[in-house]
Amino acid sequence: MSLRIPFFGLVSPRSPLKSLLEHYDKIAQGCDPIEESLVCYIAGGGVCREFKELSLEVDELEDKADKIKRSIRNHLPRGLFMPVDKTIFFNYTRMQDNILDEGQVAMNWLLMRRMTIPEQFQQGLLDLVSESVQTVKLLRPALESTVGLLHGEHYDRNGTKNKIRDVRSQHKKTGHAKDAIVIQIYNSDMEFKDIHQLIHFAEAMHSMSHNTEGSADLLRAMIAR
């Protein structure tokens, strides 16, 4: 059995890969206010005093995540040995950062104008948000396991691959939830402005999950042989 040597511990006090977990945690924290904001928006019939505060909370977390991402990319020691292709590493930081960006886009679509979400679409939208957030939450164990494998902290390659597959499987569920609610909305008698607004919200929530799946694909590329 071939063993990986934990090079980072020898040449650098802090691994850039470890910092990806810190960046991820800010992204994941932004999911809670996104879920809360939709519940508040629905319950208030489009009027939610806390919505603006929740939106600002997401903005602040996204700003903190951006700073971590820039720090990772700007302070990568020149000549540092990396067990992964640097292009894949940089693409991962961008893809992971896009997750919360799309969450902001989704909230902005609700914030754009007040509307009452018809009762028949409320559960479908809540399900979509829940499925998308679940995709994001499954990324952490996949990322943590990948980083551990690359650092030689464990050698469970198959277990790591399974965690990555979990993200992909969950994204498919998000896609089904998105398709179901989009079909309902398109076939409704709502005004075009309402349809347009809700469809863009649904697409942005799906994009959150899509970027999470893209991040998982890059993790798979990091451990490819």
pLDDT tens-place string over residues 5-53: 444 444 455 688 889 999 999 999 999 999 999 999 998 877 777 888 8
Does pTM top 0.85 for this prediction?
Answer: yes
d(Cα 86, Cα 154) in Å, to the nearest integer?
A: 22
Angle subtended at Cα 8 by Cα 4 and Cα 14, rounded to the nearest 5 degrees: 145
How high is the pLDDT of residue 209?
98
Mean pLDDT of 182-199: 96
Burial class (CB in 10 A: 0-12, 13-18, 19+), 49: exposed
Instruction: Name the CATH topology of 16-223.
Output: Methane Monooxygenase Hydroxylase; Chain G, domain 1 (1.20.58)
How high is the pLDDT of residue 9?
42
How high is the pLDDT of residue 79?
63
